[in-house]
Amino acid sequence: MKKLLPVVLGATLVSSLIGGEANAALKKPVTVWKVSNTAGFVDVDAAKNSTVYIYKGGKSLGKAKAGNYGSATVAIQPQKKGTVLRIFYKTAKGIKSPETKITVTGNYKKKKQLAVKKFTLAERYAITNDFVKWASLKGKQERKAVTTKFFDHGAAGKGDWFAGTPHGHLQVQDFNNPGYYAFGLHAIGGVAFYSPKDNLYGYSKDGYNTSTAEGYFNIAKPKTYVTKYVLGDNGVVYELKKKREHMSFSAGFGEYNNKGYGSTFTPGKGYNMIVSKDQAAQAKLKSIMKKYQ
């Protein structure tokens, strides 16, 4: 998201710091989103199975592996507006690509971080998967189905999505607008419990077989409750419980506007999350998170 003014280094020194001359035959890396002064990552399209690097002048800010599809998410600390970032990748054979330069934009306010730590994408997946195993057993005991489809939305703007909580806005979808560090809280993952029409209890993939417009309507019984649990990176489970007729995939969430300020779409009255009173869920999340701290 935002950028700092770079230190200009001589070509020889820069080459020695990052290793080797660029191969002009390779394509330049492409950034997916803008980078703001409260960005916590840079998404980059590069060559598949390459390693993507981000530098500020001659200083490395981070690196990450690109997968089979050539996409990489490089975690960074927030940078000042105007900072120039240098982005390049190296192939599996160590061949360096031409550089792409981007300038950090925005003037957003950084929030005090309430998170236990900044979890990687892999850690968030692992924590969510462990929680889902517990939630599946809970669902079977309580005759509920469990889906990880706790949040989704249709066509929307370019702003980050969030949930309203007693502890402030919790970021649930990060488009770097305004970005990770503009939120004190962030979702690790989440689940939704519902009374299934097919009477199959525990973990279910049915949430992914219904459209955003249909929501829980086709999978949950009429006039029954749907309960969302959102896992905060502060170790707190947040909850929203509504009748099926009043619960959609986007219920409980809002979106910042295209400039990363205010809200284009708010959760609405009665749709802010509460701290869940499910003490077993609270204890389970904390015990799982300890493994990754």
Q: What is the mean pLDDT of residues 203-222?
A: 91
CATH number assigned to the domain covering 11-103: 2.60.40.10
Cα angle 136, 200, 198 (rounded to 5 degrees) comes to 140
Distances (CA, A) of 286 to 35, 84, 185: 32, 39, 15
Q: What's the order of all strands across the beta sheet hosting 30-31?
A: 30-31, 41-45, 71-75
Cis geometry, peptide bond prior to residue 178 (ω within 30 degrees of 0): yes
The confidence score (pLDDT) of residue 2 equals 37
Strand partners, 55: 60, 86
C-alpha 4/C-alpha 11 separation (Å) is: 20
The confidence score (pLDDT) of residue 3 equals 36
C-alpha 236/C-alpha 216 separation (Å) is: 25
pLDDT band at residue 22 under the 50/70/90 scheme: low
pLDDT at residue 11 is higher than 60: no
C-alpha 9/C-alpha 4 separation (Å) is: 15
Q: What is the pLDDT of residues 80-135, one digit of tens each?
A: 999 999 999 999 999 999 999 999 999 999 999 999 999 999 999 999 999 999 99
Q: What is the pLDDT of residues 128-164, one digit of tens each?
A: 999 999 999 999 999 999 999 999 998 788 999 999 9
Phi first, then psi: give them for residue 64, nearest 5 degrees: -160, 155
pLDDT at residue 15 is higher than 80: no
Chain-centroid distance of CA 4 in Å reads: 24
The confidence score (pLDDT) of residue 21 equals 59
Instruction: List where CATH 2.60.40.10 sits in the chain.
Output: 11-103
Q: What is the mean pLDDT of residues 237-264?
A: 93
8 Å CB contact between 76 and 94: no
Q: How many CB atoms lie within 10 A of CB 120?
A: 13
Strand partners, 63: 53
- Residue of 99, 49, 100, 103 whose CA lies nearest to 79: 103
The confidence score (pLDDT) of residue 267 equals 93
Cα angle 101, 105, 107 (rounded to 5 degrees) comes to 155
- The region of weakest confidence among 1-15, 71-85, 152-166, 234-248 is 1-15
C-alpha 254/C-alpha 263 separation (Å) is: 7
Query: Quick one: what percent of the chain has pLDDT higher than 70?
Result: 92
The confidence score (pLDDT) of residue 20 equals 53
C-alpha 247/C-alpha 228 separation (Å) is: 9
Cα angle 242, 250, 123 (rounded to 5 degrees) comes to 105
The confidence score (pLDDT) of residue 131 equals 98
8 Å CB contact between 5 and 183: no
pLDDT at residue 209 is higher than 90: no
